[in-house]
Structure 1
Amino acid sequence: MRQASTDPRFTTHPAPKLYGVESYIAVPLHRKDGSFFGVLCALDPLPANLSEDKLEVFRHLGDLVGHQLEQEDELGRRDAQLLGAHEAAQLREQLIGIVSHDLRNPLNAITLTAATLIRRTDLDDRARRGLSRILESADRANRLIRDLLDFTQARMGKPLPVNPQSVDLHALTQQVVDEVGLATPGRRLDVVCEGDARGTWDPDRIAQVLTNLLTNALQYSPAGTPIRVKTEGQGGKVVLSVCNEGPPIPAQVLPGLFEPMTRGSREGGERRSIGLGLYIVDQIVRAHAGSVEVVSTEGVGTTFRVRLPRGTE
């Protein structure tokens, strides 16, 4: 509008007279997604020659203002995300402290007390069985806490700590299988050892891998079927296999099997919960520069195969 007092559209309009405006420019402001924000206005109490080039400059100015508004919105969103990430990191640190200290301490007290009582010679069979169940439950809770701590550390981008030392995987495997067998009476656990299985690994971490694989195999196989464990030296690496005769893992689950909280279903409605165990297995094997794979077929069963380079002895 170049001159409101002579423009037929505004000669009778009360606004120019109320605000003393003769010339007026208005440019709409839009964000990059096209949403309307507002209007950029210029007012002049005197008539103005609003040539097309001046109008074009004002349009560009409106585009710049809209772009700046978009940048400020984006910076605000990023600040909120950074604040949320910082708060989440603090929460994770607090969770680690609670789990590692406040939960482990009472569990250790329970384990120590039950272990002391079970060594008494005046216990009847019922009391001894009860104490055994307490020890088994406390041990299972400690494994869950350990997996949770490892999961949290891995999700925070930190490598799992390992303490490599000289290990005979044959001997370590037999020890772990014996311990798991004591906690699962009635299940058959077969072990086959072939070749030289010595290497440099963290024995506690490798025992954790085997325990998780055995727990998974026992959980997802019929009670009357055996679990077969094999350790085999193959040149510069050692292979650890755990096989069970349970139903095959559903095809839709296999691609994400080593991701945390993976779930699938088989025909008939059975639920299969992977949880954290296999995720921790994968993270520990990676920390040893190794690999893990699974083969699962109908009629044959499921085999988890871990390949570990021997490292430097």
Structure 2
Amino acid sequence: MLSADSSKESPQSISRDIALISRIAAVPSMLKMICDETGMGFAAVARVTDLSWTACAVHDNIGFGLQAGQQLELHSTLCCESRVARTPIIIDDFSTDAVYRGHHTSKIYKLGSYISVPIITPGGDYFGNLCAIDPRPARVSEPRVVRMFEVFATLIAMQIESEQRQSSTEAQLATERETGTLREQFIAVLGHDLRNPLSAVNATAEYLVRRTDDTNLVNAGNRLKRTVSRMARLIDDVMDFARGRLGSGMAVSIQPVDDLDERLRAVVDELRLGNPSCDIVTDFAVTRPVACDPYRMQQLLSNLLGNALTHGAAGEPVFVRAATDNNHLYMSVENRGEPIPSEVLQKVFEPYWRPPTSSPGGGLGLGLFICKEIVEAHGGTIKVSSSKEDGTRFTAQVPVSK
């Protein structure tokens, strides 16, 4: 089914662009989200020129057989037509589409549905396409689906240009104003263009949950709500990372909080609901008010506990402790399982770092980085210890007063 493209392009330039996409850590999660939300079986970021079509990143649930670095014959694809027109090509069903019914691409690759959106950098350079295919028809022309592709293509294009600038002298001389503009564009795209359709999806989930006369619809609504919650946390983490790295810093609103114990219990209850098979053991003794940002402290516990539930050994409990003394709030989360190797123990707080054993698309690797930023914004410290005998424990220490 696959064939190599015998272009005259430099192998070095192709390899350089494949490596560039591999450095954008959010791409695997984007491709997985595309397949999850659309039902499409295969999604890819493709480098498309007037000479070649090359896969730079793929998510394959249907055994299409194409891997990153492999090529298709350019004119066997519809991406070349999208490149010429600089517009998306969207086909719900090849068999009924007025324009593409019987098109050679659908015959060659036995496709039922197809969507391809150009990746064009803010400077106007055409890199390639964000595309998805499936042997079955799919409703990819829905506005929410098209908008998701356009937003992701925009984010990838912005990151491509950023990576290219970093490798040039121009990047070293970029002004603070240019960086601020990039920050605002990045946060605006995430905050507005992703949150608005997410709100619509959540409203649909709420409607389904209220259909108490149909158990299947209620279950579907609850699953959809959990998906919305995961996507919202992903957006929050990326926005916090963008602010922290691009100048604004971690935003906190410090205030005396006398019900932190109750707020932390609510976080645990929420994660218990989403992980009914996991045993979460709590020991809370927060006996005095704490000067903190209550939302950020909940986010800190949610990230630490979510990490422990993901990486802890199945069937083993997770321990959550929080206590105060005269000077500090102490919060710890502990799980059993394979220890973190000592040589990489301190890397866990680096952005985009994920354990080598993590499954592809499992997250962006920003959760623990955000934890560190939250704790430091409160004037505290966070540390990790890990061993076969004692398990893995994250401990945060924050002053109770400012």
| Structure 1 pair 260–245 and aligned structure 2 pair: CA distance change class (3 A) | same
How much does 1:246 deviate?
1.9
Aligned residue number for residue 85 of structure 2: none
Name structure 2 gaps, 5 residues minimum. 1-167
Equivalent AA in structure 2 for residue 166 of structure 1: P
After the TM superposition, which residues 82-231 of structure 1 pair with which residues of structure 2 at under 5 Å, given as runs?
A: 82-83=173-174, 87=178, 89-124=180-215, 126-167=216-257, 168-194=259-285, 196-231=287-322
SS of the counterpart of 1:140? Answer: helix
Aligned residue number for residue 246 of structure 1: 337
SS of the counterpart of 1:246? Answer: coil
Aligned residue number for residue 303 of structure 1: 393
Aligned residue number for residue 73 of structure 1: none
Aligned residue number for residue 290 of structure 1: 380
After the TM superposition, which residues 7-26 of structure 1 pair with which residues of structure 2 at under 5 Å, given as runs?
A: none
C-alpha distance in 2 between matches for 1:242 and 1:196: 19
Using the size of structure 2 for normalisation, the TM-score is: 0.54
SS of the counterpart of 1:252? Answer: helix
Equivalent AA in structure 1 for residue 207 of structure 2: T
Tell whether the 8 Å contact from 1:170 to 1:197 is kept in structure 2 after alignment: no
Aligned residue number for residue 278 of structure 1: 368
C-alpha distance in 2 between matches for 1:78 and 1:132: 51
TM superposition outliers: structure 1 runs of 4+ over 4 Å: 77-80, 84-89, 269-274
Q: Deviations over 1:63-100 (max 9, x none)?
A: xxxxxxxxxxxxxx866632487655433321211100
SS of the counterpart of 1:121? Answer: coil
C-alpha distance in 2 between matches for 1:305 and 1:199: 17
How much does 1:160 deviate?
1.4
How much does 1:255 deviate?
2.2
Equivalent AA in structure 1 for residue 398 of structure 2: L
How much does 1:134 deviate?
0.4
Name structure 1 gaps, 5 residues minimum. 1-76
C-alpha distance in 2 between matches for 1:270 and 1:112: 30
C-alpha distance in 2 between matches for 1:79 and 1:248: 43
Equivalent AA in structure 2 for residue 156 of structure 1: L
| Structure 1 pair 176–197 and aligned structure 2 pair: CA distance change class (3 A) | farther
C-alpha distance in 1 between matches for 2:171 and 2:391: 49
SS of the counterpart of 1:103? Answer: helix
Q: Deviations over 1:18-73 (max 9, x none)?
A: xxxxxxxxxxxxxxxxxxxxxxxxxxxxxxxxxxxxxxxxxxxxxxxxxxxxxxxx
Q: What RMSD, in angstroms, separates the aligned Cα atoms of the two structures?
A: 2.4
C-alpha distance in 2 between matches for 1:85 and 1:160: 19
Q: Deviations over 1:252-301 (max 9, x none)?
A: 211222110124447xx999988000000000111111111111111221
Tell whether the 8 Å contact from 1:253 to 1:263 is kept in structure 2 after alignment: no
Larger mean CA deviation between 248-257 and 80-89 belongs to: 80-89
Tell whether the 8 Å contact from 1:261 to 1:275 is kept in structure 2 after alignment: yes
Aligned residue number for residue 106 of structure 2: none
C-alpha distance in 2 between matches for 1:100 and 1:255: 31
| Structure 1 pair 197–306 and aligned structure 2 pair: CA distance change class (3 A) | farther
State the percentage of identical aligned residues. Answer: 38
Q: Deviations over 1:121-164 (max 9, x none)?
A: 2122x222211110000000000000000001100132211122
Tell whether the 8 Å contact from 2:183 to 2:243 is kept in structure 1 after alignment: no
Tell whether the 8 Å contact from 1:169 to 1:231 is kept in structure 2 after alignment: no
Equivalent AA in structure 1 for residue 255 of structure 2: Q
Tell whether the 8 Å contact from 1:253 to 1:264 is kept in structure 2 after alignment: no
